[in-house]
Amino acid sequence: MRLFRNNAWRTLACAVLLVVVVVSLAANWLAPAGYAKQYREATDAAPSGQHWLGTDEIGRDRFARVLYGTRISLLLAPAAALLSTLMAALIGGLAGYLGGTWTRAAMAVTDLFLSLPWLFLLITVRAVMPLNVTPLASVVVTFLLLGLLGWTSAARVLCATAGSLRDSDFVRQARALGVRPLRLFWLHVLPNLKPVLYAQFWISIPVFILTEANLGILGLGVAEPMPSWGSLLRELEGLVSLGEEPWKFVPLVLLAVVVTSFQFVLSEQQEAAA
């Protein structure tokens, strides 16, 4: 019965994520006016037939911005997660498999990365980047940075797992049969790391979404006029009660729903990894 309930929640979470992804991909049809058009005569407007979620402070349609922002966050966060997981597999997995000095060196680098203040690092990197980049490029660069800097925790887990596999019987037998180290890693170790890789991938997605949202709240990250969940959440600054303008909370609710859905999907992956 409990298993059924868990499965039902996971199915629901998957369905929610699917709906959110499909709706955000259909943004061009659902909100044809786009996310950047400024209706300057109808700024900060309440929901209406024309603007389903009202408009923001400079008159941009909030519904369109939520859809496009969701699309950006939901497409690029998994891409960044994929990048960070691959880097973690390469650095952590390989170092764990090779053992000895390799493990110590890789873990020293990982510890160094973990000790860096992420947020300040991202702010610094953003500050030295060229200024004349298009909003789209700024989005890609932001998530690329997240991906390049977000592999460390996963690398530690993968290093430990690969280390335990290195001394397992089937690997010893393969080594005794003369299988070359890289082939052995590719054919025997990496497939056994898959469940951990999946779990790390799913864990990273909500983390990157929230990090981008944090950067957005600081005014960094995705450049105007392109929306992201982070920039949409900035509208909540100064709101003191839920009842004041509840439609402004839609991006927050959506973020909570998506992150929670990921957690449900993730729990399945964690169980599989265990």
Partner 1 sequence: MVTKSRNAILVSALRVSALCIVLAGFALAQGGGELRFCLHSEPKTFDPLKVEDDASVSIRYLTGGVLLRINRQTQALEPELAQSWKVSKDAKQITFKLRSGISFSDGTPFSAEDVVYTVRQLMDPALHSPTGDSFRSGPGIVETRIISPTDISITFPAPVAGLDRQFDQVAILSAHSPKKEMAVLGPFMVADYKPGATVLLVRNPNYWKTDAQGKKLPYLDSIRLDIQPNRDVEMLRFKRGEVDLINSLDSEYFDKLWQIAPQVVHDAGPSLDSEQMWFNQVEKSPLPAYKKTWFRSASFRRAISEAINRDDLSRVVFRGHAQPAVGPISPANKFWFNAKLSAAAAYSRDAALKALQGEGFQLQNGTLKDKDGNEVVFSIITNSGNKYRERMATMIQEDLGKIGIKVNVVTLDFPSLIERMTQTFEYEAVLLGLTNTGLDPNEQMNVWLSSSENHQWNPSEKTPETAWEAEIDKLMREQASSADARARKKAFDRVQEIVVDEVPFIYLVNRNALSAVAADVQGASPVILSPQTFWNADRLEVKGERLALK
Sequence length of the chain is: 274
Q: Does 34 bind partner 1 (CB under 8 A)?
A: no
Segment interacting with partner 1, rule: CB under 8 A, options 10-18, 121-129, 159-167, 251-259? 121-129
Q: Does 240 bind partner 1 (CB under 8 A)?
A: yes
- Out of 8, 12, 15, 133, the residue judged to bind partner 1 by CB under 8 A: 133
Segment interacting with partner 1, rule: CB under 8 A, options 45-53, 177-185, 204-212, 233-241? 233-241
Please report how close the Cβ of residue 206 comes to partner 1 at its closest, in angstroms: 24
Rounded CA-CA distance 127/122 in Å is 8
- Out of 11, 28, 134, 173, the residue judged to bind partner 1 by CB under 8 A: 134
Please report how close the Cβ of residue 84 comes to partner 1 at its closest, in angstroms: 25
Computed on alpha carbons and rounded to an integer, the radius of gyration of the chain in Å comes to 22
CA–CA distances in Å: residue 150 to residues 92, 113, 153: 13, 9, 7
Please report how close the Cβ of residue 74 comes to partner 1 at its closest, in angstroms: 23
- Binding-site size for partner 1 (CB under 8 A) equals 27
Please report how close the Cβ of residue 126 comes to partner 1 at its closest, in angstroms: 7
Please report how close the Cβ of residue 253 comes to partner 1 at its closest, in angstroms: 22
Between residues 60 and 166, which has the closer beta carbon with respect to partner 1?
60
Rounded CA-CA distance 269/209 in Å is 19
Q: Does 86 bind partner 1 (CB under 8 A)?
A: no
Please report how close the Cβ of residue 104 comes to partner 1 at its closest, in angstroms: 36
Between residues 154 and 220, which has the closer beta carbon with respect to partner 1?
220
Tokens of residue 160, six digits = 């430990």
**HEC per residue, 169-234:** HHHHHHHHCCCCHHHHHHHHHHHHHHHHHHHHHHHHHHHHHHHHHHHHHCCCCCCCCCCCHHHHHH
Rounded CA-CA distance 58/35 in Å is 12
Cβ proximity of 69 and 59 under 8 Å: no
Please report how close the Cβ of residue 82 comes to partner 1 at its closest, in angstroms: 27
Rounded CA-CA distance 169/183 in Å is 17
CA triplet 63, 66, 72: central angle to 5 degrees? 145
By the criterion CB under 8 A, which residues form the site for partner 1? 36, 38, 40, 43, 57-59, 123, 126-128, 131-135, 138, 218-220, 223-225, 234, 237-238, 240
